[in-house]
Amino acid sequence: DQQVKQNSPSLSVQEGRISILNCDYTNSMFDYFLWYKKYPAEGPTFLISISSIKDKNEDGRFTVFLNKSAKHLSLHIVPSQPGDSAVYFCAASEVRAGNMLTFGGGTRLMVKP
């Protein structure tokens, strides 16, 4: 049973446009959410996070939105750049239960020049 799902395995966007990556979760106890970015032959790198007490967190071109009632979060990248082409994983944790992350299956983003 996948507790964190990324239903779009891939996404293609034109350079300069907005990229929107989506993530759904089923465990209502999750209270901390993260996005990781992964290039080929490298480990995932942390991108941005959000606590369940917020509904938005912004860092430069990256914004994460959290809709707790829908158990849905999204990552917006504006404007998209070719260097953003990578696999993006969303992850969730229940802080009280420890330090463990549950990852989604990933979405491959391709930004075309």
Q: Closer to other proteins at the Cβ: 30 or 36? A: 36
The alpha-helical segments, DSSP class H, found in the chain are none
Cβ proximity to other proteins, 40 vs 113, nearer residue: 40
Measured between alpha carbons, how far is 22 from 27 in angstroms, rounded to an integer?
16
- The minimum distance between CB 48 and other proteins, in angstroms, equals 9
In the complex, the smallest distance separating the C-beta of residue 52 from other proteins, rounded to whole angstroms, is 13
Q: Dihedral, CA atoms, 57, 40, 113, 103, nearest 10 degrees?
A: -30
Between 18 and 57, how does the x/- string for binding to other proteins read (CB under 8 A)?
A: --------------x-x-x----xxxxxx--x--------
Segment interacting with other proteins (CB under 8 A) among 19-27, 54-62, 72-80, 90-98: 90-98
Sign, Cα dihedral of 72, 73, 78, 84: negative
Closest CA to 104 of 90, 93, 84: 90
Distance CA 50, CA 84 (A): 20
Binding site for other proteins (CB under 8 A): 32, 34, 36, 41-46, 49, 89, 93, 95, 98-106
